Amino acid sequence: MNKLQLALTGNPNSGKTSVFNLLTGATQSVGNWPGVTVERKSGSYRKNKQVMIQDLPGIYSLAPYTPEEIVARDYLLQDHPTAIINIVDGTNLERNLYLTTQLMETGIPVVVAVNMMDLMKKNGRTINLEKLSYGLGVEVVGISAIKKQGIDELMKTTLHVVEEDHQTVHYPSYDARLEAALDEISDVLGNTVCPSQTRWYAIKLFERDPRAIDELNLSRLQQKEIEEIIAIAEKIFQDSSDAILVNERYEFITKLIALCMVDEKNHFLKVSDHIDHIVTHRILALPIFALVMWGMYYLAIQGIGGFGTDWVNDVLFGSLVPDFVQKTLIHWQVATWMQDLIINGIIAGVGAVLGFLPQLIVLFLCLAILEDCGYMSRIAFVMDRIFRKFGLSGKSFIPMLIATGCGVPGVMASRTIENEKDRRLTVMITTFMPCSAKLPIIALVAGAFFPKASWVAPSAYFIGIASIVLSGIALKKTRLFAGDPAPFIMELPAYHLPQVRSVLNQTFLRSKAFVKKAGTIIFVSTIVIWFTFKFNFSLQEVPGDQSMLATLGGVISPIFKPLGWGVWQGAVATITGLVAKENVIGTFGILYGHLGSVSDNGKEVWSLLHADFTPVAAYSFLVFNLLCAPCFAAIGAIRREMGTVKWTLTAIGYQCGLAYLVSFVTYQLGHVLFEGGSLGFQTFLSLIVLAYLIYQIVRKPKQTIIELTNVVPSMKEG
């Protein structure tokens, strides 16, 4: 078996010698590095002789100036150790992390050991190691060499990192413009250097590092191209290229420090950190999030919001408004068709949508509170951690959070993602998030079909998130999207009490946008829907099931039969939902509303839906409308962000395809399990589809393995 080579690095006085002695015990061999009078020590790990530990000289940076720096740097680049253990003095974190960023730039897996934990405790300063690890993107272990604490854990973590079969290398994240310049230099380098060192050399060339320039033997043309790239960057940053990198490293470190330093003396920050320990806990975070979401939806859909919506639906738009309007219209002797349009078209449609306003207001209020107090950014942090495990960019979660309001700005927010593949992927999956226009659909299905079950509404939210995460995982394994994630640090502001003003303002703005849409797009749509529902193609007034709408719906509806809702009304609502998702409800309002025939406190408004949908079919309808193509405005945004029609169609196709498959499985299995449906060919088919979907998520990515084997020969050539 090959011996594992671990390199021990750190600043002078970080405690490296102490750690080295603890790790190797009596097995050390001491000599000199070739050609220089720098002491060279190595030894095997006390507990596993197969693990060799190479002690590197104490250094502050990997610049090629002092003999120590040159020795350390040459060893890392030429001897390719399996991993680097970076000893960091926790009492001097900022200065020590400077070396860490450079070690990470080498592309060799790094494990950070924060030493002097005992001393820090005494001084009343703590580092939140989880956050540091998150920010750096590498494993971090707290140790105290003097107290011999944490050493075993450090080795366990390191060996684990080494064993992981698909390690993703994390680089520090720098300014997007610098990253772009580095990418361009990497392109110029092509396969002059082996892929795992491309980024290192891109950085070194950018810094005009003399040793790297010597080592590479670049052609005249390459040198010229690189010099041009550097010149542009220097113009943009108004600084010399080596200064740009130093600044960027420190900026990265400043962000890290802000993220992970806990000041025990500042009581508030300390409490904030304690809360973070719980809500961002590796295991507890998701259950807590689920509970919070459940509580929020319960309050909004069934609780306070529910009463409000019942009243608006049943009393306000159920009798008060239509009765009053009808009397007025009769009084004014308005033509009967006009009366019908106003009462059974506009009021039924727009009213149905506005009926959900009370629930939405409560939901907006809860969301605004969660956002304002800082909880939602913690969730992005937790999700990011999950995403990264699968090689996805954490930045994808900002668009997702925005998309809970509206998909259009959500899709646009993907612009912050530099990596083209990750950006496309994000555009493709962001609109799975239930936006505020989809909430009425959720509230309707939950209220009309599952009045007693409090899980239905939050489940829609989780289906959205699960579709995003699982799609991300599955798609990232395909050739279209494979690649390393862009590094990213989320800033986590300390918790604070939500500010009444900003919460109310946020809620008001969102509610206003909703009402405004009801008065414009939805208003016009209801007129069209009413008209096509009243007349047939010969423009004769006919019963609804012979109308244009029914005829058109009837053509499409067979497609949805396997999903449990093959009725034309479902097809029509889904199609009108493309104009704006609120239309799904507006359409149902017109098709099923039959206002006037409803009793005074007409609980029955939505009960007519039961004639055409079983509860499981309604749920499948909800799932489909949640995941399928978003409204035209969002499709437009996708088109703009994707740039090409082909990519846009791919995205819409994926969304509709996934929506269809998931709804199919939901209905077929749900119908058999909960509604006594009989087992049949479709049940069997749905099991196959389910297995296929699961396989796409859990399978090993084939492509990356192929890419890796391609890498090896070119390394030899290089």
Positions that interact with ligand GDP (CB under 6 A): 10, 12-18, 58, 115-116, 118-119, 144-146
Q: What's the closest the beta carbon of residue 157 comes to ligand GDP, in angstroms?
A: 17
**CA nearest to 396, candidates 465, 477, 459, 462:** 465
26 vs 497, beta carbon nearer ligand GDP: 26
Element (H, E) at 113: strand 110-115
119 vs 334, beta carbon nearer ligand GDP: 119
Helix then strand then coil, in percent of the chain rounded to 5, is 65, 5, 25
Q: What's the closest the beta carbon of residue 260 comes to ligand GDP, in angstroms?
A: 18
146 vs 334, beta carbon nearer ligand GDP: 146
119 vs 292, beta carbon nearer ligand GDP: 119
Q: What's the closest the beta carbon of residue 713 comes to ligand GDP, in angstroms?
A: 40
**CA nearest to 181, candidates 216, 217, 227, 148:** 227
16 vs 423, beta carbon nearer ligand GDP: 16
14 vs 128, beta carbon nearer ligand GDP: 14
Q: What's the closest the beta carbon of residue 114 comes to ligand GDP, in angstroms?
A: 10
Residue ranges of alpha helices (H) inside 477-607 are 500-519, 521-534, 548-556, 568-576, 582-593
16 vs 199, beta carbon nearer ligand GDP: 16
115 vs 569, beta carbon nearer ligand GDP: 115
12 vs 653, beta carbon nearer ligand GDP: 12
346, amino acid identity: I
667, amino acid identity: Y
Q: What's the closest the beta carbon of residue 86 comes to ligand GDP, in angstroms?
A: 11
Q: What's the closest the beta carbon of residue 18 comes to ligand GDP, in angstroms?
A: 3
Q: What's the closest the beta carbon of residue 20 comes to ligand GDP, in angstroms?
A: 7
Q: How many whole angstroms separate alpha carbon 163 and alpha carbon 157?
A: 10
- Would you give the DSSP letter of residue 150? S
Q: What's the closest the beta carbon of residue 94 comes to ligand GDP, in angstroms?
A: 17
Q: What's the closest the beta carbon of residue 154 comes to ligand GDP, in angstroms?
A: 12
Please answer whether residues 480 and 661 qualify as being in contact, where contact means their C-beta atoms are separated by less than 8 angstroms: no
**CA nearest to 589, candidates 361, 346, 360:** 346
Please answer whether residues 662 and 467 qualify as being in contact, where contact means their C-beta atoms are separated by less than 8 angstroms: yes
68 vs 371, beta carbon nearer ligand GDP: 68
Q: How many whole angstroms separate alpha carbon 693 and alpha carbon 649?
A: 21
**CA nearest to 626, candidates 434, 360, 449, 456:** 434
**Position of tokens 């009808």?**
326
Q: How many whole angstroms separate alpha carbon 74 and alpha carbon 249?
A: 21
What is the bridge-based pairing of β-strands 29-32 and 125-127?
A: unpaired
12 vs 519, beta carbon nearer ligand GDP: 12
Query: What region does 434 belong to: left with phi over 0, alpha with psi -120 to 50, or beta?
Result: beta
Q: Which residues lie closer than 8 Å to 413 by C-beta, 6 or more apart? A: 398, 399, 402
Q: What's the closest the beta carbon of residue 116 comes to ligand GDP, in angstroms?
A: 4
Please answer whether residues 420 and 647 qualify as being in contact, where contact means their C-beta atoms are separated by less than 8 angstroms: no
**Position of tokens 């979401």?**
293
- Determine the Cα angle at 448 with ends 676 and 511, to 5°: 145
Please answer whether residues 602 and 660 qualify as being in contact, where contact means their C-beta atoms are separated by less than 8 angstroms: no
What is the bridge-based pairing of β-strands 39-45 and 48-55?
A: antiparallel
144 vs 158, beta carbon nearer ligand GDP: 144
126, amino acid identity: T
Element (H, E) at 115: strand 110-115
10 vs 564, beta carbon nearer ligand GDP: 10
54 vs 557, beta carbon nearer ligand GDP: 54
119 vs 633, beta carbon nearer ligand GDP: 119
Q: What's the closest the beta carbon of residue 431 comes to ligand GDP, in angstroms?
A: 50
363, amino acid identity: L
10 vs 407, beta carbon nearer ligand GDP: 10
Q: What's the closest the beta carbon of residue 211 comes to ligand GDP, in angstroms?
A: 24
Instruction: Please give the structure tokens belonging to residue 518.
Output: 């009801």
- Would you give the DSSP letter of residue 173? P
Q: What's the closest the beta carbon of residue 87 comes to ligand GDP, in angstroms?
A: 7
Q: How many whole angstroms separate alpha carbon 464 and alpha carbon 639?
A: 21
User: Cα-Cα-Cα-Cα dihedral of 221, 222, 223, 226, to 10°?
Assistant: 120
Please answer whether residues 381 and 128 qualify as being in contact, where contact means their C-beta atoms are separated by less than 8 angstroms: no
Query: What region does 4 belong to: left with phi over 0, alpha with psi -120 to 50, or beta?
Result: beta
Q: What's the closest the beta carbon of residue 427 comes to ligand GDP, in angstroms?
A: 48
**Position of tokens 């994240």?**
173
Please answer whether residues 435 and 581 qualify as being in contact, where contact means their C-beta atoms are separated by less than 8 angstroms: yes
73 vs 476, beta carbon nearer ligand GDP: 73
276, amino acid identity: D
Element (H, E) at 400: helix 397-403
Q: What's the closest the beta carbon of residue 645 comes to ligand GDP, in angstroms?
A: 59
Q: How many whole angstroms separate alpha carbon 55 and alpha carbon 24?
A: 10
Q: What's the closest the beta carbon of residue 167 comes to ligand GDP, in angstroms?
A: 27
Q: What's the closest the beta carbon of residue 456 comes to ligand GDP, in angstroms?
A: 54
Q: How many whole angstroms separate alpha carbon 267 and alpha carbon 615?
A: 51
